[in-house]
Amino acid sequence: MSSPPAPALPANDALAAIAAAVDEMLWLWDAASGRVTFVNAAFERYWGRTAADLERGPLALVELVAHDDIARVRAARAALPGPGYVIEYKVQQPGTRERGPRLVRLREQALCVPNAAGGQTVVHIAKDVTWQFDTTAALRAEISRRTDAERNLNDANARLQALLATANDAVITIDTDSHVMDWNTAAERMFGYSRAEALGQLLTELIIPRGHRANHLGGITRYLNGGKPQIMNRRVETRALRRNGEEFDVEISIWPVRTAEGLTFSSFVRDISRRKAAAKALSDSEAKYRKVVENVNEGILVTAGGRILYANPKALALTGLDEATAMSKPFIEFIHPDDRERVLTNHMRRIKGEPVENYYQFRVLHNDGSSRWLEISAVLFEWMGTPATLNFLTDVTQRRQAEEDMQHSLRRERELSEMKSRFVAVASHEFRTPLAAILSSVELLDDYGNRLPDDERKEIVGLIKTAVTRMNGMIEQVLVTSKLESGRFVFDPVSAAVPSLLAQMAAELDQANPQAARIAMQCEGLEDRRLVDAQLLRHILMNLLGNALKYSAAESPVTCAASADGDRLHLVVQDRGIGIPPVDLPRLFQSFHRGTNVGNIQGTGIGLHIVKECVDLHQGSIEVDSEPGRGTIFRVRLHAPVVYG
């Protein structure tokens, strides 16, 4: 088991600080283990090595000792620990990046001191004494160094004078009384005074406007009295005076210089009158164009990184937001959810310089909850060093609405045209049958009227009446459809007893349809009077019940159940007739559409269209459940609030 390492130095802060600060090279090693335990900063600087880089203490740096001195050094080191020694020897100092290796002479002292572990620590103190053996060479080197320094100083002064003479900025030096001490060529050009004319003159009388002179003198006085300088060592803009009396803008930088002769103040002065004029012209131009941008009828946005960087008032008005709110959120939040993917994709592709559609339309969300259609035209450009897009926005909401209205009108016109075509086809078929019956009956009466028995004559007259009634019914349906299409039907509710209205309709059906006796009427929870439009309710029930009788067998029942739930009136009409094929359900409520399974059953295809329009006017809904061959159920829900009092 090895012994614990000896401490590097005695536990004394003062000794440690001294060892670190002295110029002599110092290294320590443990006499028992031979391990080097400490080297000071001077040692590391001189040799470029640390304690960890050294051989065992007695052999430290021996490999660098000159050949003719190595035996003496080894012998002296071999006697350690002992009474110690002082020895001089030559050694090869390693080279650095600044110089190569060189042969130096060291004076080394070694002594032994007890350590805290009970053993001994060997202390080596070495000093470079080469200079003592080459005083003449050192003196010559010092003289050469001073000569080089003076030459370099002269060269530097010459370069400085050339630099000042050719500088674009005026360089002026004054003393503490503001007398000009230096005045370069640029100052001659800038202010109109030659160097000879300016030297020795008061700066305040030469180039400082009268209104600025007190500040100039006050600043120097304040600095000389120890005050804090306001314009020293920084650039400031002020006004200066030319020889011809013209005032102009300058940028000035002043710094104090202390020399053996005293305190002076030097300054760089730059003529910025052209720059200021250009800046003013640019500012005026920006103000003009900003006024144009802020008053154009188009929204203008600058966007980058998913955010709005600039928005003119028109663009803000499109969303109803203020500028701070618009710039505080990603712009995609103001886009309608259905259009966000398209807008964001186009924006990112444009930022990357990829081809993208330049004109397209999308919706934005207004602060009032509405949405508006915009048409965008965008270009890629640079905004404050960042790729951005310049977007021009036009509100096309009204144009979109006009286009949609036009499309709706065109669709409506096509529907009306198709409706007319279907009406002509249906009318030509449906009117032909009763007209033929009327014509044949009239011909029978005309030819055999006096010879026919009374009962046959009555039968023929009955056929004529039936045909006329049928034609009147079809004409009434066409007229109702025409009124609905033209908007002449309106929802006009009045207070009424629903059971009484249903009884009136049942009586009307009894007179108009010989099969009305098959209808079973049911009323439940309709004791209160309700607001209903009797005319709309009549068209709904008469058509639904008429169809139920028409499309069901003569012996099958038809039910009509009426009930109420809050403000809703429920009507359910059910038959057990031929039913409606699934293929016909999507077009069930279109004008002149008839089921594919009606065969020769008479009808115009208008009734259910009238029902649907009347239900919509009555703020209601209608549902149908049907199965071919098993019957049909229509469920109608109408807005019919109770009338109190």
pLDDT tens for 83-123 read 899 999 999 988 887 788 889 999 999 999 998 888 899 99
Average pLDDT over residues 180-209: 90
CA–CA separation, 362 and 336 (whole Å)? 8
Among 28-37, 59-68, 396-405, which stretch is predicted with the lowest mean pLDDT? Answer: 396-405
pLDDT digit string, tens, across residues 11-33: 467 777 888 888 899 999 999 88
Q: Please tell me which residue, 363 or 601, carries the higher pLDDT value.
A: 363
**Is 90 exceeded by the pLDDT of residue 413?**
no
Residue 562 confidence (pLDDT): 92
Among 46-55, 155-164, 256-265, 426-435, which stretch is predicted with the lowest mean pLDDT? Answer: 426-435
CA–CA separation, 609 and 590 (whole Å)? 5
pTM of the entire predicted model: 0.36
pLDDT digit string, tens, across residues 488-546: 667 788 999 989 988 888 888 887 778 888 889 899 988 889 999 888 898 888 889 88
Tally Cβ neighbours within 10 Å of residue 217.
Answer: 16
Average pLDDT over residues 625-630: 91
CA–CA separation, 518 and 210 (whole Å)? 117
Q: Could you tell me the pLDDT band of residue 7, with boundaries at 50, 70 and 90?
A: very low
Q: 3-state class of 579 per DSSP?
A: coil
Q: Please tell me which residue, 342 or 603, carries the higher pLDDT value.
A: 342
Residue 604 confidence (pLDDT): 64
**Is 70 exceeded by the pLDDT of residue 6?**
no
User: Minimal CA–CA distance to 592: which of 469, 467, 485, 515?
Assistant: 485
Query: For all residues of the chain together, what is the average pLDDT?
Result: 83
Q: Are 328 and 319 in contact (CB under 8 A)?
A: no
Q: Could you tell me the pLDDT band of residue 404, with boundaries at 50, 70 and 90?
A: confident
CA–CA separation, 130 and 133 (whole Å)? 6
Q: Could you tell me the pLDDT band of residue 166, with boundaries at 50, 70 and 90?
A: low
CA–CA separation, 337 and 264 (whole Å)? 71
pLDDT digit string, tens, across residues 207-236: 999 988 888 888 888 888 887 766 777 788
- Per the omega criterion (within 30 degrees of 0), is the bond before 337 cis? no
CA–CA separation, 339 and 510 (whole Å)? 58
pLDDT digit string, tens, across residues 437-490: 777 777 777 777 777 787 877 777 777 777 677 677 666 666 666 666 656 667
Residue 622 confidence (pLDDT): 92
Q: Please tell me which residue, 387 or 285, carries the higher pLDDT value.
A: 387
CA–CA separation, 496 and 503 (whole Å)? 13
Please report, rounded to a whole number, the percentage of residues in the chain having pLDDT higher than 90: 20
User: Minimal CA–CA distance to 514: which of 561, 546, 471, 481?
Assistant: 546
Average pLDDT over residues 560-565: 92
Tally Cβ neighbours within 10 Å of residue 562.
Answer: 22
pLDDT digit string, tens, across residues 327-383: 888 888 888 899 889 888 888 888 888 888 888 888 888 888 888 888 888 888 888
Helix, strand, coil percentages (3-state) for the chain, rounded to 5, are 45, 25, 30
Tally Cβ neighbours within 10 Å of residue 275.
Answer: 12
User: Minimal CA–CA distance to 620: which of 547, 520, 537?
Assistant: 537
DSSP E strands, 129-225: 170-175, 180-183
Residue 5 confidence (pLDDT): 45
User: Minimal CA–CA distance to 240: which of 251, 231, 230?
Assistant: 251
Q: Which residues contact 329 (CB under 8 A, 6 or more apart)?
A: 307
User: Minimal CA–CA distance to 190: which of 211, 207, 173, 214?
Assistant: 207
Residue 584 confidence (pLDDT): 86
